[in-house]
């Protein structure tokens, strides 16, 4: 095959197509993984954000400090342990409450702490999947090329 007057061997075109296929499949895999939510919980799994009020605060001096909060969900007042400390009584906080029936021993978390890095980590994971496929395609070209037969110039030799 000739491209712009240069003869390209058929074997090189097959390897180029294979490398391009690896890159395209990496992008498709990353897209499928991202859309399926395999990198983390979807926002529906995390629950919904509710405004709560601190009933009893906890000092941050103890390692397992939990405060008590009250909040309203579906018109009913609930009380739960809040995984946080250093808040004053009657201070409003945003908490994440799970969807569905709330258990009696419910522990809620700050809404911004529950979803803090999920999206950033997901994007990084998808980028690493695509980069690994690009590296695999580059390796396919290196395997096809084989060892170099020309020596490096004298100043570049070790």
Spell out the SS3 assignment of 91-143: CEEEEEECCCCCCCCCEEEEHHHHCCCHHHHHHHHHHHHHHHHHHHHHHHHHH
Other CB atoms within 10 Å distance of the CB of residue 84? 20
State residue 39's pLDDT score: 62
The answer, yes or no, to whether residue 157 has pLDDT greater than 70, is no
State residue 116's pLDDT score: 47
Please give the model's pTM, rounded to 2 decimal places: 0.46
CA atoms within 13 A on the CB side of 93: 30
Cβ neighbors of 76 (< 8 A, separation 6 or more) are none
What is the arithmetic mean of pLDDT over 107-134?
Answer: 72
Residues 12-37: tens digit of each pLDDT = 777 778 778 877 887 888 778 777 76
């Amino acid at each position: 095959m000739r491209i712009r007057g240069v003869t390209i061997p058929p074997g090189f075109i097959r390897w180029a197509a294979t490398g391009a296929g690896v890159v395209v499949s990496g992008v498709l895999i990353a897209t499928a993984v991202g859309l399926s939510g395999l990198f983390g919980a979807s926002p529906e799994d995390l629950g919904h954000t509710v405004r709560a009020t601190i009933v009893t605060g906890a000092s941050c001096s103890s390692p397992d400090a939990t405060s008590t909060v009250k909040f309203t969900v579906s018109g009913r007042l609930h009380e739960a342990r809040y995984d946080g400390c250093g808040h004053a009584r009657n201070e409003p906080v945003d908490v994440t409450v799970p969807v569905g029936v709330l258990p009696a021993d419910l522990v809620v978390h700050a809404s911004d702490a529950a979803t803090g890095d999920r999206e950033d980590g997901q994007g990084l994971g998808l980028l690493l999947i695509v980069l690994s496929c690009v590296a695999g395609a580059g390796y396919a070209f290196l395997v096809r090329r084989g060892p170099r037969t020309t020596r490096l110039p004298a100043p570049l030799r070790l």
